[in-house]
Structure formats: structure tokens, C-alpha cells
Amino acid sequence: MGPGANTVRNGEKELKIMGVEKELLDLKDRIGKAQKQISELQGKHQYLMEQLEKDWGCKTVEEAEERIESLNHEIDTLNANIESALDEIKEKYNV
């Protein structure tokens, strides 16, 4: 091998190093963007949890799910009462 071979190898190493540097900088940028997004999502989560407690008195998602189940049951009961009352009215007035 002649002296030019060392220059070629050194050039290849430099290109590899530059490629690794670029990849690391890209990763750093992606990590920074992901951290910003996580921070934004945490803020939104906190806001929504505060609204959930303020509007519905629920401190957790589980409590909200239980509340939904309770409200659905209440709706079913009210619908049944309305149907029953309508049936009574129909009977009473022969409708």
C-alpha cells in the first residue's frame, strides 16, 4: 500500500465521524422535540384533570368512569319512568 491509501482511510474515517456527529445531532433534536411534546401533554393532562374535578367532582379517571356508569343507570331509570308514565296516560285517556 502506498501513502495515498492512508489518506483515503483517514478521509473515510472523517466521513464516518461526520455521519455519526450528524446522526447524534439529529437524535438530540428529536429528543428535544419529544421532551417539549411530553411537557405540553402533561400540562394538558393536568388541565383536564382539574376540569374533571371542577365540573364533575372526580379526582381520577376511575372516579369519572364510575360517575358515567351511575349517570347511565340514572338515565335508564328515568327513561323507564317516562315510558311508564306515558303508558298510564295512554290508558287513562284511551290514546
Q: Which residues contact 57 (CB under 8 A, 6 or more apart)?
A: 67
Taking the CA atoms of residue 13, residue 14, residue 15 and residue 20 in that order, the dihedral angle to the nearest 10 degrees is: 90
Averaged pLDDT score across all residues of the chain: 91
* pLDDT interval class at 50 (50, 70, 90): very high
pLDDT score of 1: 53
Q: Packing angle between helix 61-92 and helix 3-56, nearest 10 degrees?
A: 40
Please determine, for residue 44, whether its predicted confidence score (pLDDT) is greater than 60: yes
pLDDT score of 57: 97
53 touches 63 (CB < 8 A): no
Please determine, for residue 2, whether its predicted confidence score (pLDDT) is greater than 70: no
Q: Across residues 29-46, what is the average pLDDT? A: 98
